[in-house]
Structure 1
Amino acid sequence: MTNPIDDPGHGHSPAAWTSVLIMLVALSIAAVALFVWIPWLLVAASVLFVIGPIAGWIVSKAGYGVRGTKYQTKAH
């Protein structure tokens, strides 16, 4: 059994979910833009994809990361 202090959380935090959700939406938009060939939408989706990890980092610094002050660990 692992020590709860050593457990990295495996991405089960609002910050991680925010990052992944933004990046998933960006990839979906990019796939449609590539299929229909709308270059400006493809570029916009690429920018949104880069914003995903930045948004996750900001939410993590706001206290919603794995070791954040506002995050409550869930029992497995």
Structure 2
Amino acid sequence: MAGSHGGSPKSWLAVIVILLGFTVGGVALCLGPNWMMFWVGAGIIAVGGVLALIVDIFSDVIVDAPREPLDHTG
């Protein structure tokens, strides 16, 4: 995805795993709270964090060259 801010599929996989864990933990808090399910969600988030480190998620950041402001005079 050269020239895109979309990130690579491996990075999106890590993000999806983290979001899944967050969702499981959030649902667990709404169900009572169900602490066992909450900690399972926290574990899924931790796995997603490790996955993000393994795939080097921060290397997907693309820094554009500085943009020139438009000259609206005349």
1:51 alignment partner in structure 2: 47
Amino acid at match of 1:39: W
How far apart are the structure 1 equivalents of 2:8 and 2:39?
A: 29
Amino acid at match of 2:8: S
TM superposition outliers: structure 1 runs of 4+ over 6 Å: none
User: TM-score by structure 2 length?
Assistant: 0.61
Amino acid at match of 2:37: L
How many residue pairs get aligned? The number is 56
1:38 alignment partner in structure 2: 34
Shift of 1:51: 1.0
Amino-acid identity (%): 23
Conservation of the 8 A alpha-carbon contact between 1:15 and 1:57:
no
Structure number, greater radius of gyration: 2
User: TM-score by structure 1 length?
Assistant: 0.59
- Unaligned 5+ segments in structure 1 are 67-76
- The aligned runs of 1:14-25 (5 Å cut-off) are 14-25=9-20
* Structure 2 counterpart SS, 1:46: helix
How far apart are the structure 1 equivalents of 2:49 and 2:9?
A: 13
- Unaligned 5+ segments in structure 2 are 61-74
